[in-house]
């Protein structure tokens, strides 16, 4: 693994900063909070943290509305505190990846304030202004165009009206945004996760999106149309290549793209001759049904579609999607962790997944997420997966000393870090074992994936490199299952007590049990 770029064998841990650790008692997590928990992350065994946006922001979309790309919001701390966090993370050999939000700024960004001030302002063309709207719909519901009365034109916002879209066809925008990247790269930041990478360039003729024949009422207004003209446009790839070029000015940094597209389209984001994103995020495990058959075909399809030399990656959860333990159940989430750690390439986990955290029920008066406020009750809300990390069993779980910005949730309290740490059967212990194990076994990171099968609810495949050969098996059936196996030893298991067990010929697996067996000659 020595020869691989650092990010190829990394496990990336996403920190949602508002909910990770509060250090100043305002109920919202901050940079000093993250710094205070670095030793926890080291002990957990992850390699890199990706921090969701910490830039100055009116927080209309909780930081995904940036008002200054080269600053730190006072809610999270100061630039000195960021520098210290970076330094202390690096001292512990933890890499730091920042979120970069290029598609849109805040409407409070000085660029937009100038742009909207008059039609002939030099920054007018930094955003997308039109005399007439077309039928494009915002991802948060309703038209993606907002009329600006004083200047008499509409501006485009793929998300909130407080998040106007930048015009990336304008070279001045490109150059200002690339300079913002350089600002952080110069500080030593190890890479970026680029927000909605596939949306950055729109059709230059602003053609209407065609109707979506599969639309059913209740899916949100954007689903009425196919995103043919406001997403995944061919020109995006050149732009991503240029962005990659900026990172390469600074050596071995990583460019990760947030991209929700079908697999064949996703693969284009590796770029011509792999000169695009190092890692176009692979969200297949977030989207597929959790059955042996579906998983087998999802994993095989992704692996087969990878361009030659492209590096795979896998994501189990993020701040926009229901938590894995709620999607598939707490027990199966243990098996999901084993599956994740058996897959090739770079892994990304979302804070709290290592505890088995579940979505928290948010009462109507507690809703914070603008996506839920704009289209209530149709499942758009993301607050349930953004609740505070429970650190201990005290009333506020060691997260804060005042009212937390989102409720902690009773089920999650019991999963707190303190009690999970002393329980060998906890999800946390499982994650620690898996992280340690993967670090020691390059075959799991870069070995071949072969012999994928799904029968009777059993998912199986092999990972091998050199003389090492591992069998992964997971039982997703409702009953226990017997399988024929080679002689070997169980090296990782959803039940800690089975680790070290020698196996020969036949093996039994309980429902929701998963194992990794090291084959022995
Ligand atoms: C994707 C981010 O993950 C999400 O949280 C945000 O609301 C949108 N992009 C808009 O920036």
Residue 104 Cα, ligand 1 centroid: separation in angstroms? 10
What does the block give as tokens for 256?
A: 């990760």
Measured between its terminal Cα atoms, the distance across the chain in Å is 24
Residue range 419-448: mean pLDDT, rounded: 97
Mean pLDDT over each residue of the chain, to the nearest integer = 97
For 140, residues 6+ apart whose C-beta sits below 8 A from its C-beta are 159, 160, 370, 371, 374, 375, 380
How many residues belong to the chain? Answer: 521
- Give the per-residue pLDDT at 2: 59
Give the whole-number percent of the chain exceeding pLDDT 90: 97
- Give the per-residue pLDDT at 489: 97
Residue range 377-398: mean pLDDT, rounded: 96
Condensed to tens digits (0 to 9), the pLDDT of residues 261-277 reads 999 999 999 999 999 99
**254 touches 279 (CB < 8 A):** yes
Helix, strand, or coil (residue 279): strand
3-state secondary structure 191-206: EEEECCHHHCCCCCCC
- pLDDT category, 320, cuts 50, 70, 90? very high
- If we measure between CA atoms, which residue out of 505, 466, 474 comes closest to residue 488? 505
Return d(Cα 388, Cα 484) in angstroms, integer: 44
Q: How many CB atoms neighbour CB 520 within 10 A?
A: 12
Ligand 1: residue whose CA is nearest its atom 10: 64
- If we measure between CA atoms, which residue out of 256, 327, 368, 280 comes closest to residue 19? 368
Q: Is the CB of 203 under 6 A from ligand 1?
A: no
Residue burial 126-165, b: 16+ Cβ < 10 Å; e: rest: bbbbeeebbbbbbbbbbbbbbebeebebbbbbbbbbbbbb
- Give the per-residue pLDDT at 342: 98
- Best mutation site among 58, 158, 159, 369 for ligand 1, i.e. most ligand atoms within 8 A of its Cβ? 159
- 370 CA: nearest ligand 1 atom: 7
Condensed to tens digits (0 to 9), the pLDDT of residues 457-502 reads 999 999 999 999 999 999 999 999 999 999 999 999 999 999 999 9
∠ CA 464-354-313, nearest 5°, is 40
Res 1 pLDDT > 70: no
- If we measure between CA atoms, which residue out of 283, 302, 309, 278 comes closest to residue 194? 278
Q: Is the CB of 196 under 6 A from ligand 1?
A: yes
- Can you say whether residue 443 is alpha, beta or left, with left for phi > 0 and alpha for psi between -120 and 50 degrees? alpha
Residue 336 Cα, ligand 1 centroid: separation in angstroms? 25
Cα Rg, the chain, nearest whole Å: 23
Q: Is the CB of 195 under 6 A from ligand 1?
A: yes
- Give the per-residue pLDDT at 514: 98
Give the whole-number percent of the chain exceeding pLDDT 70: 100
Res 293 pLDDT > 80: yes
Ligand 1: residue whose CA is nearest its atom 2: 195
- Give the per-residue pLDDT at 379: 86
Q: Where are the alpha helices (DSSP H) in 79-170?
A: 79-91, 110-117
Q: Is the CB of 34 under 6 A from ligand 1?
A: no
Residue burial 225-261, b: 16+ Cβ < 10 Å; e: rest: bebebbbbbeebbebbeebbebbeebeebbbbbbbbb
Residue 116 Cα, ligand 1 centroid: separation in angstroms? 23
Which residues carry out catalysis? 195, 249
What does the block give as tokens for 95?
A: 């890499």
- 52 CA: nearest ligand 1 atom: 3
Q: Is the pLDDT higher at 424 or at 379? A: 424
- Give the per-residue pLDDT at 378: 86
- Is residue 314 classed exposed, middle or buried when 0-12, 13-18 and 19+ CB atoms within 10 A define those classes? buried
Residue burial 392-404, b: 16+ Cβ < 10 Å; e: rest: eeeebbbbbeeeb
């Amino acid at each position: 693994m020595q020869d691989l770029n650092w990010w190829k064998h990394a496990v990336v841990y996403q920190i949602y900063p508002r909910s990770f650790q509060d250090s100043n008692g305002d109920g919202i997590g901050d940079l000093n909070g993250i710094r205070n928990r670095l030793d926890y992350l080291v002990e957990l065994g992850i390699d890199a943290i990706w921090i969701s946006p910490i830039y100055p922001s009116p927080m209309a979309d909780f930081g995904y509305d940036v008002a200054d790309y080269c600053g730190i919001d006072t809610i999270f701390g100061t630039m000195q505190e960021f520098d210290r966090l970076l330094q202390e993370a690096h001292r512990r050999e933890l890499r730091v990846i920042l979120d970069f939000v290029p598609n849109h700024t805040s409407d409070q960004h000085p660029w937009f304030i100038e742009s909207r001030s008059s039609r002939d302002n030099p920054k007018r063309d930094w955003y997308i202004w039109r005399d007439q709207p077309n039928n494009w719909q915002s991802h948060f519901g309703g038209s993606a165009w907002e009329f600006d009365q004083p200047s008499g034109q509409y501006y485009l916002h793929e998300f909130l009206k407080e998040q106007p879209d930048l015009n990336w066809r304008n070279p001045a925008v490109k150059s200002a945004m690339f300079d913002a990247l350089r600002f952080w790269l110069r500080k030593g930041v190890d890479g970026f996760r680029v927000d909605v990478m596939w949306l950055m360039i729109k059709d230059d003729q602003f053609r209407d999106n065609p109707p979506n024949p599969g639309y059913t009422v209740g899916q949100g207004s954007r689903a009425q149309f196919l995103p043919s003209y406001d997403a995944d446009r061919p020109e995006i790839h050149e732009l991503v290549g240029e962005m990659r070029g900026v990172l390469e000015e600074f050596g071995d940094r990583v460019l990760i793209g947030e991209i929700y597209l079908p697999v064949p389209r996703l693969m284009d984001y590796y770029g011509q001759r792999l000169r695009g994103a190092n890692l176009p995020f692979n969200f297949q495990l977030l989207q597929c049904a959790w059955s042996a058959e579906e998983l087998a075909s999802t994993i095989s399809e992704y692996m087969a579609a990878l361009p030659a030399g492209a590096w795979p990656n896998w994501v189990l959860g993020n701040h926009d999607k229901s938590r894995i333990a709620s999607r598939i159940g707490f027990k199966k989430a243990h098996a999901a962790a084993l599956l994740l750690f058996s897959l090739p390439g770079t892994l990304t986990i979302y804070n709290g997944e290592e505890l088995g955290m579940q979505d928290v029920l948010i009462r109507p008066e507690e809703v914070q997420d603008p996506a839920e406020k704009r289209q209530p009750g149709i499942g758009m809300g993301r607050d349930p997966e953004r609740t505070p990390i429970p650190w201990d069993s005290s009333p506020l779980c060691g997260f804060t000393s005042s009212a937390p910005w989102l409720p902690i949730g009773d089920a999650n309290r019991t999963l707190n870090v303190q009690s999970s740490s002393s329980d060998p059967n906890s999800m946390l212990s499982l994650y620690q074992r898996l992280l340690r194990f993967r670090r020691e076994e390059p075959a799991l990171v870069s070995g071949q994936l072969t012999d994928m099968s799904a029968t009777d609810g059993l998912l199986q495949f092999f990972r091998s490199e050199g003389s090492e050969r591992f069998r992964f098996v997971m039982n997703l059936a409702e009953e226990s299952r017997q399988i024929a196996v080679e002689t070997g030893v169980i090296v990782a298991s959803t039940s800690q007590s089975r680790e070290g067990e020698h196996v020969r010929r036949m093996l039994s697996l309980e429902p929701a049990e998963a194992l990794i067996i090291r084959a022995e000659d």
